[in-house]
Structure 1
Amino acid sequence: MSSLAQSASPASAGASVFGKALSVRKEAAQRGMSKSAVSRERAAAKARAMAEELAALRGQLAASQSRAAAAPVAASVATAAEKPRVRVKAGSAPIAAEAPAPKVGKPIAGGTLVPPEARERRARGRRFVLVGAQNNTWAHRDFIESLRVYCDLNGSRLMVSGLPYNRDGWEQPHRLTKEDDSLWYDPLVEPFMSDETLWLADSLLWCGKVATPITAADPLSGMESFTRDASGIFPHTKVAMKSLAGMKSHGARFIYTTGCCTQRNYIQRKVGQKAEFHHVFGALAVEVASDGAWFARQLIADEGGRFQDLETVYTPHGARRANVAGIVWGDIHRKHLEGGMFRACWGDGGILDTLHPRWQVAHDVLHFTGPSHHSLKDPFLQAQYYRDGSNSVEHELDGDADFFLGIERPWCETIVPDANHHCHLRRWLTEADFRKDPANARIGHYLAWRIHEAIERGENINIYEVAVREAAERKRKGALKRTRWLLPDESFEVAGVECGLHGDLGPNGARGSPKSFRQLGRRAVTGHTHSAGIVDGVWTVGVTGSLDQGYNKGPSSWSHTHCVIFENGKRQLITMQGDRWRAD
């Protein structure tokens, strides 16, 4: 065998592959071989060395497997007094000859072929109260008692879902499940536990099995399609709501969280303290009508466990009748307001007369159809408005005056925030050429003159207010004494809740959105989006006018949703189904 071949023979256990290749290169250079020959010999030597080491490793693995197979036999004849043998590798720690026994009850694999919908079933009853409860935490006893009073008086079923949370911090929260043996719940709520997936109505699913982390900043994130084309309710300590777009023939969908019936119990770090701040003693009440229509409302309790649902206050000791502080209507859009909706809200036995608020807030009463900047350049829309008679500004303002007269009550003050559709009138007066609009020339010139007159007096006027008040005065002397228009950026609070924001203008000149108003750091109720929602302390109403106003195309998240504000500052959303606002 040549010296070159000998250099590639098996080396000692401590020799490296790269050491062998280097020795080959030196010897080849000493023999005067070419550069390419050196490269070929080096590659061949490296390949042989790697193959030899791989064969050695395979031998070691086979020997290890043989010892492992023989271990059970040796263990069966060993006495209790014998110590386990160990094998020691040079330079390493002792390794037990016997493998540790697997932990009992910890499967190493799993799976199911059963789809989630196969585990869903129909709930019994037509009235429910849904709430979450944190594990290893005492219940809010007074709140539980108030909920039981509510259920007894209304024939509702109380359903509590567990919210697993690792308070000790020794284990990652995501490792806890609702089936974990270390979890327990206050005996006060144990009889009502419902960690199930239940259909409360044909289009409403109770997702009691979903264990969303209670420290989640947005507990509804990613759950938009979880209930398929139905609405859903998820247990959580934070109260939230989202409107989801649906086909216009089916209406919007909604996903809700419930609120919690257990005390605050969080790790005092940033995430835990944020969750503690947003912890709400609350529940969600659901009523299902005989025809399957359902109505969901928030039950938000004070620190004493008392809460109000519509016109009734519930306490641990009973219930009593009470009025409300205010109601914020969904954006009115009077031009598209249907008669049945008006009667349900302001007619005899309607929402206003039943709840008897001290204030009612009306957003976007003016729709401003005909000469709006949205449609002014569309000749076909203008032709349609001309045919319908809806191109007259004076006629629309006259109709708005009738509306304000119809909703006025001696015991209730009407508040009209500055809103983008109300500003359409001022924009029209600024941009329109009345020479080309004879149908509106007279009212346009008159209102423009009123603005100039106010400027000369040094006054700041709301021209929409001026127009409506004058029209109402012509119909009834001394009218609208209980109606107040707000100027731009004017604040108005009802029980500590800001109601002066329409929602179109956001901070620092940006477009408004419910999320952008969170930085105000105060509770607020806004309009504008026509899509109801709850984002932290910002609650948003829907629309009172028609859900199809011509310009909104495609799937829609609009709904007939209003917000009730109680005397203690707690709030509740009322979503109507047709012209109904509660079950039978």
Structure 2
Amino acid sequence: MPKQLDLNSLSASELIALVKEVGGQRPFERKYGIPRTTLQARLKKARDEQWNHRPVLKPIEERVDQGVRRFILTSAQDRTVVHEGFLAQLEAYCAWLNEDAPCDIMIAGFTYNKSLFEDHAKRSGLFHHSLTKYLVFDHININGVVDFCAELNTRPTASNPLNGCENFTEDRWGIFPHAKLQIKSVPTHKQKQPKILLSTGCVTRTNYVPLRAGIKAELEHSLSAVLVETDHIGKFFCRHLIAEEDGSFYDLDRRISNGVVTTGHNLKSITWGDLHVKQIDPEVCAASFGIMPTNRRANGHRVWVENIPGSVIDTMRPEYQQFEDVSDFYARNHHNIKNALAPDQSHTIDDIENGMHGHEGVNGSRGSIAGYRRTGIKATFGHAHSCAVLGDVWQSGTKSKLDLGYNGGMSSWSHSDVWQYQNGHRVMITFHGNAWNIPVEKAGLQKSSSDIK
């Protein structure tokens, strides 16, 4: 005979713990002879009896009072194997950056368990011992400009993990822990810099329930992190570090592999933001190409300043370049009329389609990043002027001024390019004025040999 048990004699927490201890509702029914429907009714009542209050916690502030600070931010799944190679390279890169300015690794945990009574509080999760010293569980404000929302616990199977997070960080950039890599530009006033949201990717290997949602999530699982660099005047940059199979990765002209950082590597390709040369932003133009238009004219043409040092084109030396909307033709560009002037032609670089501008979708529909994602292709294009990443589809921003008249109201436009490294991985580079990163300034940088790409 099953042991008799008076459900009403148990507190809510005692009942939930007991059900969890025996392995769920059906084992509970078998052991105690209490119908599952009766148990469910009591559990509902128990939940209703639990009155709690969780106060809103203030963010932890990480300020930069002088010089530069850097942060490497990623996430990890509970009860999951760590990709040791990637973690080792992140640690090696962090140590290398620390020779220039302080750099910290922060890892936000997330849980993934299907048990009805599993405690999904992240602090009670079981994470690999190699991550313990890096784990964070709080909302962290970095220098008043970027928020790392480490307190959020989003299922790794979420298709669009940034949806619903647009206002979560107020007017600051937001970085959200998640196993997928995603980027989303949020509308702001056109006279201000855009607000951009990024998800981190993670440092743990795939570990999904083999059902539809889990199998789909495996396809977009990303071994990656976000590097944040900022200084005492509030300048900041955020970009992804995306691992290869062995954990190696690129960052700008640097390659981190086997615990060694080498520099001087060139890019495979750049998809520049839409140029619109007549309306190009002078500072962004200078930082990109080393030339800049002025307001002066000679012989009926604008005067351009040349040989501006530190440009992307001179530093990164890409093998291929994709130029989007070079001529503005304001009265007739496809933002002002309904017909595009030329069809797209296929051009693949390391199995990534670079030949589409992005304005045309499937079967004659209007182009969109969500529509291209559904086709399953890997692609990089421009057109929308708003940087975005959705699955294997990457969308660059613009080189134009952020207010061209036809983009009325608030705008999500950003000065962003998509770079493609020699390993086929991509990164979104967003400019702030005439800058695209905070340089590492230290002696003895180990340069790559001339035959290393």
The structure in which a higher percent of residues are helix is 1
Q: Residue in 1 aligned with 2:443?
A: none
- 1:22-33 counterparts in 2 under 5 A? none
Q: Residue in 1 aligned with 2:323?
A: 362
Q: Residue in 2 aligned with 1:63?
A: none
Please report how far the alpha carbon of residue 289 of structure 1 lies from its aligned counterpart in structure 2 after TM superposition: 2.9
Q: Residue in 2 aligned with 1:226?
A: 168
Distance 1:110 1:324, change over 3 A: same
The structure in which a higher percent of residues are strand is 2
Please report how far the alpha carbon of residue 317 of structure 1 lies from its aligned counterpart in structure 2 after TM superposition: 2.1
Q: Residue in 2 aligned with 1:99?
A: 9
Q: Residue in 1 aligned with 2:84?
A: 141
Q: Residue in 2 aligned with 1:178?
A: 122
Q: Residue in 2 aligned with 1:320?
A: 262
Determine if contact 1:143/1:316 at 8 Å carries over to the other structure.
no
Please report how far the alpha carbon of residue 552 of structure 1 lies from its aligned counterpart in structure 2 after TM superposition: 1.7
Count of residues in correspondence between the two structures:
378
Q: Residue in 2 aligned with 1:526?
A: 381
Determine if contact 1:201/1:294 at 8 Å carries over to the other structure.
no
Report the TM-score when normalising by structure 1.
0.61
Equivalent of 2:249, from 301, 307, 322?
307
Determine if contact 1:495/1:565 at 8 Å carries over to the other structure.
no
- 2:9 counterpart SS class: coil
Determine if contact 1:504/1:528 at 8 Å carries over to the other structure.
yes
Please report how far the alpha carbon of residue 316 of structure 1 lies from its aligned counterpart in structure 2 after TM superposition: 3.4
- Indicate whether 1:287 and 2:287 are aligned: no
- Indicate whether 1:272 and 2:127 are aligned: no
Q: Residue in 1 aligned with 2:401?
A: 546
Q: Residue in 1 aligned with 2:60?
A: 121
- 1:127-276 counterparts in 2 under 5 A? 127-155=70-98, 156-166=103-113, 169-171=114-116, 176-180=120-124, 183-276=125-218
Q: Which runs of 5+ in 1 are unaligned?
A: 1-92, 377-418, 424-486
User: Aligned AA for 1:531?
Assistant: S
State the identity as a percent: 33
Please report how far the alpha carbon of residue 234 of structure 1 lies from its aligned counterpart in structure 2 after TM superposition: 0.5
Please report how far the alpha carbon of residue 124 of structure 1 lies from its aligned counterpart in structure 2 after TM superposition: 5.2
Determine if contact 1:251/1:556 at 8 Å carries over to the other structure.
no
- Indicate whether 1:571 and 2:426 are aligned: yes
- 2:270 counterpart SS class: strand
Greater gyration radius: 1
Moved more, 137-146 or 148-157: 148-157
Please report how far the alpha carbon of residue 228 of structure 1 lies from its aligned counterpart in structure 2 after TM superposition: 1.8
Q: Residue in 2 aligned with 1:37?
A: none
Equivalent of 2:278, from 311, 328, 335?
335
Please report how far the alpha carbon of residue 285 of structure 1 lies from its aligned counterpart in structure 2 after TM superposition: 0.6
Distance 1:420 1:103, change over 3 A: same
Please report how far the alpha carbon of residue 103 of structure 1 lies from its aligned counterpart in structure 2 after TM superposition: 3.8
Please report how far the alpha carbon of residue 303 of structure 1 lies from its aligned counterpart in structure 2 after TM superposition: 0.9
Whose relative contact order is higher, 1 or 2, with alpha carbons under 8 Å and at least 6 apart? 2
Cα distance in 2 for partners of 1:551, 1:539 equals 24
Report the TM-score when normalising by structure 2.
0.78
- 2:436 counterpart SS class: coil
Distance 1:146 1:304, change over 3 A: same
Q: Which runs of 5+ in 2 are unaligned?
A: 18-48, 291-308, 440-453
Determine if contact 1:252/1:557 at 8 Å carries over to the other structure.
yes
Q: Residue in 1 aligned with 2:351?
A: 496
Please report how far the alpha carbon of residue 323 of structure 1 lies from its aligned counterpart in structure 2 after TM superposition: 1.2
Determine if contact 1:145/1:315 at 8 Å carries over to the other structure.
no
User: Aligned AA for 1:123?
Assistant: E
User: Aligned AA for 1:514?
Assistant: I
